[in-house]
């Protein structure tokens, strides 16, 4: 029996109201006393409220970021209340419905329709609706009634037909499997066809429509769901609500362009749902929201502080790569310490932004009762590169492991160093590059110059894979398990400190080859890289 704790509910509602106040123009409408505003000034953006950077979906006709955030936080409150107070079997439906309402409000009904049509097709190819399932009937009526256009109506009719037949399979055998794979990987096919058309057939470069973008930004999650399905970890007979609940919670709406960032396939979400007491989960969700605020709103201020600290050490500091690359063009390369200061500042800024998004999303999932693991879990304090990768973008790494690393490792034969090396290059090299290429293409559009810019980042992926491989091969030779950093006396601490510095240096050095080749010619990139090494 679940125990309701009203103080937890009040805490969550209070936190959501506080975020809505601090992150939007409500802070200027109901302004605090001038003395408080003055004291907060160093942290406030030019609009007079805290910087959030949460919703960065900018398409013509979309509400501005301020409104997107208000929609997110206002919908999260009823979604939390319903999921908290309703009995477990009924918790998921209102969360999914309110999230889809949010997609409709932020992105418009066409985007909602495209998203719904895709998921409905994918669901019907893979699953049989559960017989006598009330919520499925509700979905059918919602599709027909709310959208009322051709696709919505057809989808509703199809679902209704299947429901009425008592759950007959839609497609069986090889045809169904083939169609499932085609749909799961569809963003990739669309991107590849577009790229081939532009590069080989001379099409005009083009940008994807919002409808496609909304769908495509979940592409990693959809492929993951399909991998789970093929591994037999998803029941064939599944309600549409249970299917949609894998993808849609208010976390989906937070930082929409990073839609795929948090979460895995069906089995993980199913296992994590109410894996712990709902009050414990809600409280841990609150802690994640607090960290999200720190990273997103105070992060830029901390980065400024780092820059000032470096200046106080008498090291001239640059704040962007563009400034340094402009100098490199004139054959001026700053001193190594200046460059390392810049690398560190840029990595910290990126880390705060991504950790902020991630903590917000994990926090929102937890408020809805899903015990999801952290992403960007103090990665910058890792003492070896493998650990760094695990703690950095945890979910993306897990995706690479599932879709690239394990299949390659298990298929290969030969010595373990060979299997480990090839599997790491497949995951951290090929898979990682592919994922970033697709994301960048979806965000920026298909343009041969953009594709070429992405290809120029290949040294980063190769270097990243090499660093992981060397670390893995070294670790395979050590007595396992590796001791904890604080064990082993002063020697252990010293080695861990060295490991931390080496790990961070390797990453920020490699990261430079991810940022800069996209926008600058290789000649200048290498010039600056040599400068950083003092050569």
Q: What residues line the site for another protein (CB under 8 A)? A: 227, 230-233, 267, 386, 390, 401-402, 405-407, 409-410, 416, 419-420, 423, 472, 475-476, 480-481
Minimum distance of another protein from residue 35's CB (angstroms):
50
Nearer to another protein, 215 or 386 (CB): 386
Nearer to another protein, 66 or 475 (CB): 475
Minimum distance of another protein from residue 68's CB (angstroms):
36
Spell out the alpha helix ranges (H) of 201-277. 210-216, 219-230, 240-245, 250-253, 266-272
Cis peptide before 415 (omega within 30 of 0): no
Nearer to another protein, 172 or 416 (CB): 416
Minimum distance of another protein from residue 233's CB (angstroms):
7
Whole-Å CA distances, 470 to 315, 414, 463: 33, 18, 11
Whole-Å CA distances, 383 to 374, 419, 424, 505: 18, 24, 19, 11
Minimum distance of another protein from residue 296's CB (angstroms):
28
Nearer to another protein, 4 or 416 (CB): 416
Residues 66, 72, 77, 78: is their CA dihedral positive or negative?
Answer: positive
Nearer to another protein, 11 or 235 (CB): 235
Q: What is the DSSP letter of 404?
A: I
Minimum distance of another protein from residue 376's CB (angstroms):
17
Nearer to another protein, 16 or 472 (CB): 472
Minimum distance of another protein from residue 397's CB (angstroms):
9
Give yes or no for a contact between 317 and 345, defined as CB atoms under 8 angstroms apart: yes
Nearer to another protein, 420 or 454 (CB): 420
3-state SS, 486-528, equals CCCHHHHHHHHHHHHHHHHHHHHHHHHHHHCCCCCCHHHHHHH
Give yes or no for a contact between 125 and 175, defined as CB atoms under 8 angstroms apart: no
Minimum distance of another protein from residue 402's CB (angstroms):
7
Nearer to another protein, 109 or 181 (CB): 181
Nearer to another protein, 107 or 234 (CB): 234
Minimum distance of another protein from residue 455's CB (angstroms):
28
Residues in contact with 381: Cβ distance below 8 Å, sequence separation at least 6, in sequence order: 500
Phi, psi of 273 (to 5 degrees): -70, 120
Number of other residues whose CB lies within 10 A of the CB of residue 291: 19
Enumerate the β-bridge partners of residue 418.
none
Minimum distance of another protein from residue 480's CB (angstroms):
5
Rounded Cα distance, 60 and 150, in Å: 25
Number of other residues whose CB lies within 10 A of the CB of residue 498: 11
Nearer to another protein, 199 or 401 (CB): 401
Minimum distance of another protein from residue 268's CB (angstroms):
9
CA-nearest of 67, 70, 49 to 58 is: 67
Rounded Cα distance, 322 and 318, in Å: 9
Nearer to another protein, 235 or 407 (CB): 407
Nearer to another protein, 161 or 483 (CB): 483
Torsion on CA atoms 14, 20, 21, 26, rounded to nearest 10:
-140
Phi, psi of 446 (to 5 degrees): -90, 115
Minimum distance of another protein from residue 481's CB (angstroms):
6
CA-nearest of 346, 299, 314, 370 to 52 is: 299
Number of other residues whose CB lies within 10 A of the CB of residue 319: 15
Helix axes 416-424, 458-477, angle to 10 degrees: 150
Minimum distance of another protein from residue 267's CB (angstroms):
7
Give yes or no for a contact between 289 and 363, defined as CB atoms under 8 angstroms apart: yes
Phi, psi of 117 (to 5 degrees): -65, -40
Helix, strand or coil, per DSSP, at residue 273: strand
């Amino acid at each position: 029996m679940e125990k309701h704790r009203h103080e937890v509910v009040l805490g969550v509602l209070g936190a959501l109201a506080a975020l809505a106040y601090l992150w939007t123009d409500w802070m200027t409408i109901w302004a605090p006393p001038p003395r408080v505003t003055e004291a907060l000034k160093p942290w406030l953006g030019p609009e007079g409220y805290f910087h959030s950077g949460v919703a960065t979906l900018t398409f013509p006709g979309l509400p501005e970021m301020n409104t997107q955030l208000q929609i997110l936080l206002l919908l999260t409150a009823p979604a939390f209340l319903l999921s908290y107070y309703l009995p477990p079997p009924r918790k998921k439906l209102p969360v999914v419905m309110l999230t889809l309402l949010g997609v409709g409000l932020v992105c418009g009904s066409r985007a909602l329709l495209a998203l719904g049509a895709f998921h409905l097709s994918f669901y019907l190819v893979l699953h049989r609706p559960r017989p006598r399932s009330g919520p499925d009937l509700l979905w059918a009526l919602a599709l027909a009634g709310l959208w009322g256009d051709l696709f919505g109506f057809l989808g509703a009719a199809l679902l209704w037909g299947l429901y009425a037949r008592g759950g007959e399979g839609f497609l069986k055998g090889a045809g169904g499997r083939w169609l499932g794979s085609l749909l799961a990987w569809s963003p990739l096919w669309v991107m590849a066809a577009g790229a081939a058309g532009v590069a080989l057939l001379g099409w005009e470069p083009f940008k994807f429509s919002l409808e496609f973008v909304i769908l495509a930004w979940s592409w990693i999650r959809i492929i993951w769901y399909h991998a789970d399905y093929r591994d037999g970890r998803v029941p064939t007979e599944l309600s549409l609500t249970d299917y949609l609940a894998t993808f849609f919670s208010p976390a989906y709406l937070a930082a929409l362009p990073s839609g795929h960032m948090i979460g895995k396939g069906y089995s993980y979400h199913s296992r994590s749902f109410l894996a712990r007491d709902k009050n414990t989960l809600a409280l841990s969700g609150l802690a994640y929201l607090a960290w999200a605020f720190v990273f997103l709103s105070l992060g830029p201020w901390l980065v400024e502080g780092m820059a000032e600290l470096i200046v106080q050490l008498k090291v001239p500091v640059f704040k962007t790569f563009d400034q340094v690359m402009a100098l490199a063009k004139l054959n001026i390369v700053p001193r190594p310490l200046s460059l390392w200061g810049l690398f560190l500042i840029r990595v910290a800024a990126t880390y705060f932004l991504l950790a902020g998004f991630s903590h917000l999303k994990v926090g929102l999932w937890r408020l809805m009762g899903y015990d999801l693991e952290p992403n960007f879990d103090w990665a910058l304090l890792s003492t070896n590169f493998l650990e760094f990768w695990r703690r950095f973008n945890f979910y993306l790494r897990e995706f690479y492991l599932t879709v690239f690393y394990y299949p390659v490792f298990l298929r290969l034969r030969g010595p373990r160093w060979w299997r480990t090396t090839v599997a790491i290059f497949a995951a951290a090299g090929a898979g990682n590059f592919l994922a970033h290429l697709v994301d960048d293409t979806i965000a920026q559009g298909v343009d041969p110059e953009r594709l070429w810019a992405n290809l120029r980042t290949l040294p980063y992926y190769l270097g990243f894979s090499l660093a992981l491989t060397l670390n893995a091969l070294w670790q395979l030779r050590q007595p396992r398990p590796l001791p904890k950093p604080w064990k082993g006396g002063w020697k252990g601490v010293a080695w861990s400190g060295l490991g931390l510095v080496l790990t961070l240096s390797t990453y920020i050095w490699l990261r430079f080859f991810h940022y800069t080749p996209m926008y600058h010619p290789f000649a200048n990139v290498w010039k600056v890289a040599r400068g950083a090494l003092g050569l």
